[in-house]
Amino acid sequence: MYLCNDTFRLPPDELVAAMRDAGAKEEDYPRPYDSVGCCELGSGHGERHAEYKFACGTEPELWVEWDDDGNIEFVRLTPCGQSDETLPPGQQQACTLPTDHGCGHSWEAVDLPHR
């Protein structure tokens, strides 16, 4: 699977507010010039792009979703967690994308991650 890697400039104030509401502390906040979203879903995933932003304990993770029209939404999602059962148990990695993400699991990415 190749990653979408579509980028979008996120409003820094909205990003910090969403992270604060999700339990982030000030040291977790991105720098104002680091507020670009980069889609982590597989190429051809559908209409909405998505990027992981923050997790606090066992709560659902904070993700940002956006579309090509510039509409953004901060959402709380549960990770997929499915693992590659073709590998031995000690080598399996859980999928870090949200449940119902479509277009392949995170361990299937063949291009370099954007982070």
pLDDT in tens, 70-88: 999 999 999 998 998 888 8
**The model's pTM:** 0.87
pLDDT in tens, 14-56: 999 999 999 999 999 988 778 888 999 999 898 899 999 999 9
**Beta strand ranges found along the chain (DSSP E):** 7-9, 36-38, 49-54, 61-66, 72-77
Bridge-based pairing of strands 49-54 and 36-38 is unpaired
What's the confidence (pLDDT) of residue 88?
87
Classify the C-alpha dihedral 102-106-111-115 as positive or negative: positive
What's the confidence (pLDDT) of residue 115?
46
